[in-house]
Amino acid sequence: MNGGGAELPRMALAGLKVIDMASLYAAPLAATIMADFGADVLKVEPPEGDSFRGSKMWPIVARGKRCLALDLRTHEGIAAFKQLVAEADVVVENYPAAVLAKRGISWSELSAINPRLVMLSVSCFGASGPYADRPGSGTIGEGFGGLTWLMGESDGPPMLPSVALGDAVGAMSAVIGTLSALYWRDRSGRGQQVDASLYEPILQIAAHAAQRWSPGHSPDRCGSRLPGVLRNVYRTADARFVAISASTARHEADLMGLAGGDGDKDARVAAWIGGLPQAEVVAALVARRIPIAPVNTFDELLADVHVRTRGSLIHIESESLGDLALAAPAPRLSATPARIGDINPPLGDDVAEALSSWRV
């Protein structure tokens, strides 16, 4: 109970009303993160349903949300949408600006309806600049933002990661911007537009390599290594792998004491690790507080005692979607923990009901 005697919300974003009118991955994931932390997220889908509905991506982009069929290609759909906007705190969108303007639902038009509205606009290149109208995704952001150039072996081509890294990092950045805008709104009374590109969060990652940059000499790929740090992925005797980052002088000295021998440090560590099973390598380095981790598969993660104790990765058996491994919401809040909601929300069509739930 708080000082006034009213019961406090059990979730950090309880009472926050969010319209998710976005498609694909990054922008809907931003709304999912808000739903995980208690926001009431209304996902607006076309009458035929979202393109991910029924796939294993659906719990990632739709869990914990209410879903409403609304045709934003019609005057009736736009009118109903504007009624919802008048009651909302946040709108999440990733439409081309020209499409929003043509339909009469641009930022300027929606903010006139609801001056307290925060509009999260997610795009690859941002809302300004000469590339603003170009289509793109997190993958395009990774390439454009310099990360792809830095990934891969030194004698090989640039590589993309095997996951949609740019979309996930972009979604997290978009949530930071949205919550910042809401905090300012609560003090000023005014909403604002959050211009969240997908390539600029990638720059925050790739900029680590700027320590190796000078004009005309861009840093190149170096595999799993980092210049100046004893860091790599090493194969163990039982054909498994460990990741090591001996990032301090003490870490490096202790690791070389274990590896022994003379010559190239990385080669000495690789030879020592190659003669031992993974469990022994991990135990030896953990005992000396040298940062190390087994390189886990998803099956190994689901069986890991630490992951199981914290509930970090959840195995869900769904009749409609099959077996799923979902990451638990992060970070952890001690007083108002997040949770995963309904992983397969149905598609409704009652606009009046959606409105009435927000007007209570």
* Among 40, 21, 64, 8, CA closest to 328: 64
Residue 223 in contact with residue 163, Cβ under 8 Å?
A: no
Give dist(CA 309, CA 303) in Å, integer: 10
E-assigned strand segments in 187-255: 193-197, 230-235, 241-246
Q: How far is CA 75 from CA 39, 81, 110, in A?
A: 28, 10, 15
CA-to-CA distance for 266 and 268, rounded, in angstroms?
A: 5
First-to-last C-alpha distance (Å) of the chain: 22
Phi, psi of 218 (to 5 degrees): -75, 145
Helix/strand/coil for 170: helix
Phi first, then psi, for residue 197 (nearest 5°) are: -85, 165
Strand partners, 142: none
Name the strands in the sheet holding 241-246, side by side, starting at the edge strand that comes first in the sequence. 230-235, 241-246, 292-294
Q: Measured between alpha carbons, how far is 312 from 297 in angstroms, rounded to an integer?
A: 14
User: Which residues pair with residue 194 across a beta bridge?
Assistant: 120
Let me know if 349 is a catalytic residue.
Answer: no
Pick the catalytic residue from 89, 167, 254, 299: 167
Which of 114, 99, 31 lies closest to 67, judged by CA?
Answer: 31
The set of catalytic residues is: 167
